[in-house]
């Protein structure tokens, strides 16, 4: 193998030097004091030079001075100009960040969230990434809990925006899918959809929670809420029992996976209710075939399913009595005591 040439070695040294320069630039900080204004520390370039660099710096200093003097709207406008005119400078993410803080102070939640999003979206390597995700989470949580925006015309209270909160939580989830805020966001998305009576969407969020973050401390709560939410979709024993079966599945999974959780008592109560509902539904179908159709084979199938659905329940005992009645009816014998007789068919006479 031939040794590298001198030219190749020089090129490698040059590349390493450039990487070192970029690493230094990435560690640069903007520092502001009343005496000196904004300045770049860390030996990095500001991303601008010459006249553009001076203009950007002057505009940043103007914005910060207005901020310090309490002129919030003027400061926001100046920061917005920096971000728009000099997006590739070191000043742009700082301008957006400060604008977001000022908007939040004025209860302009939506635009504050958008400015924070512009920082993490355009400058994902910002050292404030975790801080900004936390601020976005707090904005979304406040809106979900009914926080109102800034006063309208200085007289009327602002509007609530729970639907916007759900959108914000989804954005946080996309921004930081591996952060602690991701499972929290999904749980809040589910809670928000439930507030808006959107149970199917709540179930979707909870399902994403247990599938994507099964090790989260919030997983037990998600399983329990899935069972409870499916239970709210049950219309009664005369209707389709798909939601009942889903609720049974999640209540059972919860009790198997988290036997020491404080929610076990609630899960047991929910499971009892859903198994009772499913068994009662089987009884209703069995009664239909027994009393309305004289179809003893079908009646026996559903009475047996009622027993297997909840063997320890009073419904199972009732189903066993019905099975004896079916056998007696099929063989022409008298039904056992305690079993309601099939209603007699009415006869109509023609004269």
Q: Write out the two tokens for 254.
A: 């919860």
Is 81 buried (19+), middle (13-18) or exposed (0-12) by CB count in 10 A?
Answer: middle
What value does the mean pLDDT of the chain take? 87
Q: Measure the CA–CA gap between 49 and 286, rounded to whole angstroms.
A: 85
State yes or no: pLDDT of 88 exceeds 70: yes
pLDDT of residue 52: 84
Q: Measure the CA–CA gap between 182 and 179, rounded to whole angstroms.
A: 6
- pLDDT range class, residue 339, cuts 50, 70, 90: low
Which residues, at least 6 apart from 318, have a Cβ–Cβ distance to it below 8 Å? 283, 306
State yes or no: pLDDT of 76 exceeds 90: yes
Q: What are phi and psi of 155, to 5 degrees?
A: -125, -45
Given a contact cutoff of 8 angstroms between Cβ atoms, the answer to whether 150 and 160 are in contact is no
Q: Measure the CA–CA gap between 250 and 229, rounded to whole angstroms.
A: 10
pLDDT of residue 73: 95
Choose between 41 and 299: higher pLDDT: 299
Handedness of CA 323, 328, 330, 334 (dihedral sign): negative
- pLDDT range class, residue 22, cuts 50, 70, 90: very low
pLDDT of residue 24: 37
The model's pLDDT over 278-301, given as tens digits with 9 standing for 90+, comes to 999 999 999 999 999 999 999 999
The model's pLDDT over 149-180, given as tens digits with 9 standing for 90+, comes to 765 545 555 667 889 999 999 999 999 999 99
Task: Calculate mean pLDDT across residues 232-249.
Answer: 97
Task: Calculate mean pLDDT across residues 323-345.
Answer: 72
Handedness of CA 215, 207, 265, 252 (dihedral sign): negative
State yes or no: pLDDT of 46 exceeds 70: no
State yes or no: pLDDT of 18 exceeds 50: no
Which of 23-27, 175-179, 180-184, 245-249 bottoms out in mean pLDDT, i.e. has the lowest?
23-27
Whether the model pTM is above 0.85: no
State yes or no: pLDDT of 16 exceeds 60: no
Which of 28-42, 109-123, 174-188, 320-334 bottoms out in mean pLDDT, i.e. has the lowest?
28-42
Given a contact cutoff of 8 angstroms between Cβ atoms, the answer to whether 93 and 119 are in contact is yes
Q: Measure the CA–CA gap between 30 and 71, rounded to whole angstroms.
A: 22
Choose between 28 and 154: higher pLDDT: 28
């Amino acid at each position: 193998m031939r040794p590298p040439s001198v030219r190749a070695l020089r090129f490698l040294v040059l590349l390493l030097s450039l990487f070192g320069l970029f690493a230094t630039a990435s560690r640069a900080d903007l520092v502001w004091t009343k005496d000196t204004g904004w300045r770049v520390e860390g030996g990095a370039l500001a991303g601008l030079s010459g006249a553009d660099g001076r203009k950007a710096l002057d505009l940043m200093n103007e914005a910060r001075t207005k901020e310090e003097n309490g002129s919030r709207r003027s400061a926001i406008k100046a920061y917005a100009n920096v971000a728009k005119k000099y997006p590739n400078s070191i000043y742009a993410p700082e301008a957006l960040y400060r604008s977001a803080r000022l908007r939040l102070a004025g209860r302009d939640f939506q635009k504050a969230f958008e400015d924070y999003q512009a920082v993490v979206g355009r400058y994902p390597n910002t050292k404030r990434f975790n801080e900004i995700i936390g601020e976005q989470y707090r904005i979304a949580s406040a809106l979900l809990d009914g926080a109102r925006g800034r006063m309208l015309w200085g007289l009327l209270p602002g509007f609530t925006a729970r639907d916007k909160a759900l959108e914000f939580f989804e954005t946080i989830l996309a921004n930081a899918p591996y952060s602690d805020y991701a499972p929290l966001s999904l749980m809040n998305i589910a809670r928000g959809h439930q507030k808006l009576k959107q149970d199917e969407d709540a179930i979707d969020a909870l399902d994403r929670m247990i599938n994507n973050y099964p090790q989260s401390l919030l997983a037990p709560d998600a399983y329990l809420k899935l069972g409870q939410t499916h239970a709210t979709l049950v219309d009664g024993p005369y209707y389709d029992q798909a939601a009942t079966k889903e609720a049974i599945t999640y209540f059972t999974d919860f009790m198997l996976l988290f036997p020491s959780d404080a929610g076990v008592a609630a899960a047991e109560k929910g499971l009892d209710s859903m198994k009772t509902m499913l068994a009662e539904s089987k009884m209703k179908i069995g009664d239909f075939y027994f009393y309305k159709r004289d179809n003893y084979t079908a009646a026996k199938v559903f009475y047996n399913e009622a027993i297997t659905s909840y063997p320890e329940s009073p419904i199972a005992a009732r189903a066993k009595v019905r099975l004896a009645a079916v056998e007696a009816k099929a063989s022409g014998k008298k039904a056992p005591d305690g079993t309601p007789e099939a209603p007699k068919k009415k006869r109509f006479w023609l004269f």
